[in-house]
Structure 1
Amino acid sequence: MSHLSAAEVDAIAAKVERFVREVIAPYEQDPRCGSHGPSEELVHEMRRLARAAGVMTPHILPDGRHLTQAQTAIVLQKSGLSPLGPVACNTAAPDEGNMYLLGKVGSPEQKARFLNQLVSGESRSAFFMTEPSEEGGAGSDPSMMRTTAKLDGNHWVINGRKAFITGAEGAKVGIVMAKSEDGACMFLVDLPDPAIRIERVLDTIDSSMPGGHAIIAIDNLRVPADQMLGQSGEGFKYAQVRLSPARLSHCMRWWGAASRAHEIASDYACRRHAFGKPLVDHEGVGFMLAENLIDLKQAELMIAWCAGVLDTGELGTVESSMTKVAVSEALMRVADRCVQVMGGKGVSGDTIVEQVFREIRAFRIYDGPTEVHKWSLAKKIKRDHKHATEGAAA
């Protein structure tokens, strides 16, 4: 972890903000932004600009040190000011989470082979965990995993199907989850591989992530034993190492997008006149914008609180669940109000407001739907009550 001063972190964040606002935001109307995310050509173009500006992978320092979670929050919020910002600056999912996991669990050889190309922004990655629901595979409940891994000499042979795999099309590095006799495992693979076949890329409500979200078939994928990430049977533990900060990173990035949508809606409300005065002077509109400020500040404070917990070394599963629920729901309200304030303009593609609305609607499901996190928290309440009751009785 870094020992940068607050002023040094603020300087990095300010540099990222200038780059995203001045260089990347104009690309939002680029025809290379499609329904399955920006094209590979556009990704490489924006990343060349990010390298030239000195903002490539800004949360990881040149000497390999990672900013603390609290510091990362400040930087990633700025990268999220445009839906294209995280892609350009290499702070986007799934790469940001995969880099974090590899940094924590990968061997020196694995880091040299797989992590370095991700940190440099030369390659993208994919995380193969979720499986098709119609086949009874793992989704919000990863224990339902059906993809298998069997040892054959010095190779693991993997078979199964995966679903909603973000960025698989065009990725160079893959992390595949499968179940061995010991339990869940993770494997590092070079992509593309003929044994990993993209059946189709789904048409989804969101459109910010390169490669979209794919259905994948894995047929007799052979992975050398030294490409297992960590130990056999420890995959679920590693998944939590990745997912707790990854949930928080989603909150950071989409906070930036929602705050920009609020800026656009506020500007519109102050400029647009109706019934003899600016829209902002009508209580129905002004109050919505005021509520946006409240939700944005509360979300920002939740992010900072959860980041502080993770920086203590705690796994932060409970805190990240609470933060993911609170922030995703708050930002959904912000995005919805922005659309409403702007009326017809808000549902058009003339600004990013309608895209932010779509993206955050998807965010309420990705990395665990709100209801799954609430269910998990309710189970904790029950456990805590049981322990307190038993302790009192003793």
Structure 2
Amino acid sequence: MSQPPHLDQDSSTAHDVADSPSSRPAPCPIETTSSNGAGIPQWDPRSESVQRDQIASYDAMRQSCPLAQSPYGYTTVFRHADVLRVVEDHETFSSAVSRYPSVPNGMDPPEHTPFRRLIEPYFDQAHMEAFEPECRGIAAELVAQLPRQADIELISEFAQIFALRIQCAWLGWPAALHEPLRLWTLKNQAATMSRDREAQESVAQEFDQYIKDLLAARREAGAAAPDDITTHLLRNDSLGRLLTDEEITSILRNWTVGELGTIAASVGILVHYLADHPAIQQHLRDNPADLPAAIDEILRIHAPLIMNRRITTREIELAGHTLPAGTRLAVLWASANRDEAVFGDPDEFRLDRDPALNLLYGAGVHVCPGAPLARLELLAVMNALLSGTQWWALSDDSAPTKAIYPGSGFSSLFITLR
């Protein structure tokens, strides 16, 4: 396997804030407070200064403030070692943080364990091999439809469509759901950004109704129901009983809501990175076998998923601060995966990194069970883009628009294909 050059981010981008020790901000860039008796700095992840460049802001915080409190009730954890400690100690740092049922994401062992065993087989090698031809077919079909020698807005015209098509195909959902789910995704993003609980409740109920309708249709069809994952969940009795509708809905919600946004964001990040780094784009065109490692490395540099939440079950010392029981934490993957103490220059692209250090798919008992599916989908779509085009570049006329916290990647990305 030939190696591409270990390229740093171009100096014109905003990711070079942490390139060298001399560029590191000296004390914490945000005024500290002792209002909680712990002296933990305050920060606002939704502030204009952070949104201007999320990655540079996370780098600055990580280098001088291992913890910071937000006005939204969370203490953010920035450093790799601290994030790893939190996610690997489920007894001290619980995942039961949501006000909605969350199976199994919002559970801790021992309750979590049987549900985890129930869902893992859906992502095994046999399921991935069976789905791979359809996955590659959808990716190739959508790439073939993209116009050449003209600007396209990649996120709405390709990445979101791919995420919807591929997720519905994997679950066995009908094409009639593509457009309703696309519109629902937009409403869900707006509700999340607004922090309007009524709006969030409304979109949650709308999604749940889609699932209930699918389950009702399969029950009515009986033995003639489609032989797909959704039907299989309805009939799964590995717990010694059938799943309740609420449990099935929660499982499918977790798989779908997270998958749609994260896959679309990942496609945008990957395409942007290769447009911005033509030498690496050419290397991957010439060496497609390097794609799996390259995808994970690019998504380490620019995370598609910003953070996950935990809550302390007892008083604990973390990063030099004493946190009381009930402290809500945000583990910031987008910062931890760029920690200089682990990765050196976080913007250096390398194919020879230890994959065990990459927290792209989490760690601990809640490490993402869907990682094999996500890797299959991203490999399929990037193979299709690289093999189905001669080149792509960023548009000369329209600059990318960055996504806003808690989103990542780009809300719009104009590129030209040839």
Greater fraction of residues in strand: 1
Superposition TM-score tier, normalisation by shorter sequence:
under 0.3
Where relative contact order (Cα < 8 A, 6+ residues apart) is larger, the structure is: 2
TM-score, structure 2 as length reference? 0.26
